[in-house]
Amino acid sequence: MLALATMNGLVIGAIYALAALGVSLVVGIMNVINFAHGELYILAGYFSYILADTLGMHFVLAMVLAVALVFLFGIFVEYTLIRPTYGNDMYSLILTFILSIVLQNAYLLIFGPYPNKPPGWVGGATHVFGAFYYGNQRLAALVAGAVVIAFVFVLVKKTWFGRIIRATSQDREMAELNGVNTTRLNMLSFGLGCALAAAAGVILAPVFPVTPTAGVPVALTAFVVVVLGGMGSLWGCVVGGLILGLVENLGAAYISTGYKHVFNFIILILVLLVRPAGLFGRREA
Amino acid sequence: MLEVSGIDVFRGETQVLWEISIRVHLGERVAILGSNGAGKSTFLAAVTGVLPPRRGDILFKGESLVGMKPHQITQLGVAVVPEGRRVYREMTVAENLEMGAYPKRGRAQLKKTMEHVMCIFPVLAGRSRQPAGTLSGGEQQMLAIGRALMSRPELLLIDELSLGLAPLITKEIFRTLDNLADEITILLVEQNVEQALRHSKRAYILESGRLTRSGISSELMEDDDIRRAYLGL
Ligand SMILES: Nc1ncnc2c1ncn2[C@@H]1O[C@H](COP(=O)(O)OP(=O)(O)OP(=O)(O)O)[C@@H](O)[C@H]1O
Ligand SMILES: [Mg+2]
pLDDT computed for residue A86 by the predictor: 82
Which ligand is the nearest neighbour of the Cα of B16?
Answer: 1
Q: What percent of chain A has pLDDT over 90?
A: 67
Q: Which of A167, A65, A133 is nearest to B99 (CA)?
A: A167
Which H or E run contains A135?
strand A132-135
CB-CB under 8 Å, B69 with A176: yes
Report the alpha-carbon distance of residue B214 to residue B220 in Å, rounded: 8
- Average pLDDT in the A191-198 region? 96
- Alpha-helical (H) ranges within A31-58 are 37-49
Q: Which of A269-273, B4-8, B124-128 has the lowest mean pLDDT?
A: A269-273
| Average pLDDT of chain A to the nearest whole number | 91
Question: Measured from the CB, is residue B74 less than 6 Å from ligand 1?
Answer: no
Q: What is the pLDDT of residue A285?
A: 39
**Predicted local distance difference test score (pLDDT) of residue A262:** 83
Confidence of residue B177 (pLDDT cuts 50, 70, 90): very high
Alpha-helical (H) ranges within chain A are 2-30, 37-49, 59-77, 89-111, 136-158, 160-170, 172-177, 182-204, 215-229, 234-254, 260-274
Tens digit of pLDDT for each residue in B29-87? 999 999 889 999 999 999 999 999 999 999 999 999 999 999 999 999 999 999 999 99
Q: Which residues of A touch B147 (CB under 8 A)?
A: 178
Query: Which residue's alpha carbon is at the smallest distance from atom 28 of ligand 1?
Result: B37
Give the nearest chain B residue to A170 (CA atoms): B88
Does B41 contact chain A (CB < 8 Å)?
A: no
Give the closest residue to B7 by CA, choosing from B52, B68, B55, B64. Answer: B55
Is there a domain that residue A91 lies in? yes
Nearest CA-CA partner of A36 in A126, A97, A87 = A97
Whole-model pTM over 0.80: yes
Name the percent of chain B in helix, strand, coil, to the closest 5: 40, 25, 35
CA dist list (Å): A11 to A101, B14, B161: 28, 56, 53
Contacts of B183 (CB under 8 A, 6+ apart): B27, B154
What is the arithmetic mean of pLDDT over A206-225? 93
The more confident residue out of A12 and A261 is A12
Strand (E) or helix (H) holding B34: none
Contact call for A178 and B89, based on CB within 8 A: no
For residue A252, pLDDT beyond 60: yes
The residue ranking higher by pLDDT, B232 or B15, is: B15
Task: Find the length of chain A.
Answer: 285
* Structural domain range at position A164: 9-214
- In angstroms, rounded to a whole number, what is the distance separating the alpha carbons of residues A97 and A109? 19
Mean pLDDT score, B108-125? 93
Q: Is residue A76 part of a domain?
A: yes
In-domain check, residue A169: yes
Inter-CA distances, B65 with A220, B3, B8, B184, Å:
46, 10, 15, 19
In chain B, the residue whose alpha carbon lies closest to the alpha carbon of A182 is B71
Residue B197: what pLDDT?
A: 92
- CB-CB neighbours of A55 under 10 Å: 10
**Range name among A109-113, B11-15, B101-105, B191-195 with the lowest pLDDT average:** B191-195
pLDDT in tens, A90-141: 898 899 999 999 999 999 999 999 999 888 888 888 888 777 888 899 999 9
**CA-wise closest residue to A194 among A77, A52, A31:** A77
Residue A120 is given by DSSP the state: P
Distance from CA of A185 to the nearest CA of B (A): 12
Which residue type sits at B27? G
Rounded to a whole number of angstroms, the CA Rg of chain B reads: 17
pLDDT for residue B233 is more than 70? no
3-class DSSP state of A272: helix
- Cβ–ligand 1 contact at B39 (below 6 Å): yes
Q: Please determine, for residue A283, whether its predicted confidence score (pLDDT) is greater than 60.
A: no
Strand runs labelled E in A12-83 = none
Reading phi first (left if > 0) and then psi (alpha if -120 to 50, else beta), residue A186 is in: alpha
Best CA proximity match to B144, nearest among B182, B184, B102, B99: B99
A11-59 residue pLDDT tens: 999 999 999 999 999 998 888 999 999 999 999 999 999 999 889 899 9
Supply φ then ψ for residue B207, to 5 degrees: -130, 125
* CA B101 – CA B85 distance, rounded (Å): 17
In whole angstroms, give the CA distance from residue A52 to residue A202: 11
Shortest-distance ligand to the CA of residue B33: 1
Measured in degrees and rounded to the nearest 5, phi and psi for residue A88 equal -135, 95
The residue contributing the CA closest to ligand 1 atom 5 is: B11
B200 shares contact with chain A (CB less than 8 Å): no
Closest to B145 (Cα-Cα) out of B111, B172, B166: B172
Percent of chain B with pLDDT over 70: 99
Answer yes or no: are the C-beta atoms of A226 and A37 closer than 8 Å.
no
CB-CB under 8 Å, B90 with A177: no
Q: Which residues, numbered 148 to 177 in chain A, qualify as contacts with chain B under a Cβ-Cβ cut-off of 8 Å?
A: 160, 163-164, 166-167, 170-171, 173-177
Average pLDDT over residues A165-182: 95
> Span B183-198, mean pLDDT?
91
CATH 3.40.50.300 residue ranges for chain B = 1-77+154-161+182-233
Q: How many CB atoms lie within 10 A of CB B224?
A: 8
Question: pLDDT by residue (tens digit) across B142-155?
Answer: 999 999 999 999 99
Q: Are B85 and B143 in contact (CB under 8 A)?
A: yes
Q: Do A167 and B86 touch (CB under 8 A)?
A: no
Chain A hits for B91, Cβ within 8 Å: 163, 166-167, 170
For residue B74, which of A84, A175, A77, A246 has the smallest C-alpha distance? A175
Residue A102 lies in a domain: yes
Single-letter code of the amino acid located at A109: L
Confirm if A95 and A190 have CB atoms less than 8 A apart. no
Closest CA to A61 of A70, A52, A53, A71: A52
Q: What angle do CA B121, B126, B129 make, to 5 degrees?
A: 115
Position A112 in a domain = yes
B52 alpha carbon to ligand 1 midpoint, in Å?
15
Residue A204 CB partners (closer than 8 Å, separation 6+): A12, A15, A45, A141
The one-character DSSP state at A81 is I
Q: Is residue A276 part of a domain?
A: no
CATH topology of domain B1-77+154-161+182-233: Rossmann fold (3.40.50)
CB-CB contact of B135 with B143 (8 Å) = yes
Number of structural domains, chain A?
A: 1
